[in-house]
Amino acid sequence: MTYDSNNIFAKILRGEIPNKTVYEDEQVLAFHDISAAAPVHVLVIPKGEYVSFDDFLGKASAETVHGFFERVRKVAHIVEAQEGGYRLITNHGRNASQSVPHFHVHILGGRALGGLLPGDALVR
Ligand code: 5GP
């Protein structure tokens, strides 16, 4: 998997595009999604160059993976999503409609989110 350093999130990490930051440290950046699908919709991205979840788990150390997901939880608490509940989504590739090729986890909450997939979730 080749990382495209011109993707939008790479530009955000370089400060070329503004973002509404929720949390940042040396490992991750968390910011509000520009097109929120729920009252809480935050994206958490590693600062390292990984195309997707699949790429991240394939390349990053266990310590880095663990640290990343600890931070996802920390961000969910910062936006106070843990009490009402939240959903994590990460899209890998075409079938999942991944639109930005830099690994990211969506944190969604702030309202009842309904079923797992929109519409009829039956496998056809
Ligand atoms: P994906 O479909 O790849 O899982 O999710 C990409 C997400 O990035 C989408 O929810 C989209 O709204 C968000 N997004 C795309 N461009 C920007 C941007 O420039 N700024 C922010 N904050 N979010 C963006």
What tens digit of pLDDT does each residue of 24-76 get? 999 999 999 999 999 999 999 999 999 999 999 999 999 999 999 999 999 99
Each residue's pLDDT tens digit, 98-117: 999 999 999 999 999 999 98
90 Cβ below 6 A of ligand 1: no
- Are 33 and 124 spatial neighbours (Cβ–Cβ below 8 Å)? no
**So what's the pLDDT on residue 116?**
92
Each residue's pLDDT tens digit, 6-23: 999 999 999 999 999 999
- Are 68 and 47 spatial neighbours (Cβ–Cβ below 8 Å)? no
User: Percentage of residues in the chain with pLDDT exceeding 70?
Assistant: 95
Sequence-distant (≥ 6) Cβ neighbours of residue 104 within 8 angstroms = 9, 43, 44, 45, 90
Q: Which fold has domain 8-109?
A: HIT family, subunit A (3.30.428)
Residue 32: active-site member: no
Gap between the Cα atoms of 74 and 105, Å rounded: 13
**Atom number in ligand 1 closest to CA 101:** 3
35 Cβ below 6 A of ligand 1: yes
Gap between the Cα atoms of 40 and 118, Å rounded: 18
33 Cβ below 6 A of ligand 1: yes
Give residue for tokens 């958490």.
44
pTM of structure: 0.96
Tokens of 20: 């509404």
Gap between the Cα atoms of 22 and 42, Å rounded: 8
